[in-house]
Amino acid sequence: MLFHVRMSVNIPHDVPEHFASQLKVDEKEVAQKLQQEGVWRHLWRVAGLYSNVSVFDVPDAQVLHEILIGLPLFPYMDIEVTALCRHPSSIHADDK
């Protein structure tokens, strides 16, 4: 099942820089691993914002929930999730 996910990060200014930097390193590692596994299918930065638009390919909403709450930056994110389904006019065979 595909999900469109928008994640906006809001790290408070009083979070120590070394802690915030380590969270970002950890987040990148998790994101790249999930991309390599084919779970995090697409990842785009939203220009001018500390935000991204992503597409996840997971069995169901519960699995997506577990992934999102496990992200290192989750405590500092505003997240919007939209379920997706294949459009009948799509020419891409890998659209599930």
Strand ordering across the sheet containing 51-57: 40-45, 51-57, 2-9, 77-84
Number of domain units in the chain: 1
Residue 94 domain-assigned (yes or no): no
Q: Which residue has the higher pLDDT, 87 or 22?
A: 22
Asked whether 80 and 68 are in contact (CB, 8 A), the reply is no
* pLDDT tens digits along 13-56: 999 999 999 999 999 999 999 999 999 999 999 999 999 999 99
With respect to residue 69, please indicate whether it lies within any of the assigned structural domains: yes
pTM reported for the whole predicted model: 0.91
Amino acid at 88: P
Closest listed residue to residue 11, CA positions, set 21, 1, 2: 21
Q: What CATH number has the domain bearing residue 62?
A: 3.30.70.1060
Identify the helix (H) or strand (E) that includes residue 80: strand 77-84
Residue 77 lies in a domain: yes
Query: What Cα–Cα distance (Å) separates residue 14 from each residue in 11, 17, 76, 81?
Result: 8, 9, 12, 28
pLDDT tens, 41-51? 999 999 999 99
